[in-house]
Structures are given as C-alpha cells and as structure tokens.
Amino acid sequence: MSAGNFEKRKAKQEQRKKQLITLFSMVAFLGTFGYSTINLFQGAFNQPSQQDLTQQQSNQRQQELE
C-alpha cells in the first residue's frame, strides 16, 4: 500500500521537475529571442535614412564651398 503511494509520489515529483525544466527553458528561450528581436528593431529604427545622409553630405559640401 505505502510502496504504491511512494511510487506515485515519486512519479509525480519527476513529472513536476520535467515541467519546471521545460517552463524555465521556454522562458529563457523567449527572453533571449525577445531581447535580440528588440535590439534588432532598435538598430533598424535608429539608423539614419539614406535621405538624411545625402542631406548631411550636401550640407558639408555647401559649408566647404563657402
């Protein structure tokens, strides 16, 4: 009787352990993935556009000519 309960409890603990490991690995993966995605988008939005760069270059040329 008690041996059967012990086995059940042990199996339940193992299952819980596996669920926790799965949960933590999913959280770690999503955290890493989300962080790199955010960095990627920030980099894309922070870069100056081609129009801005051309405007800067023409302003520099204008100043050099004056």
Provide the residue ranges of all domains of the chain, joining segments of one domain with +: 2-65
Q: Is 34 exposed, middle or buried (0-12, 13-18, 19+ CB in 10 A)?
A: exposed
pLDDT along the chain (66 residues), means of 10: 82 94 92 84 71 80 79
Q: What is the pTM of this model?
A: 0.47
Q: What are the tokens at 49?
A: 């556009």
**What are the distances in angstroms from CA 2 to CA 5, 6, 9, 10, 16?**
5, 6, 10, 12, 21
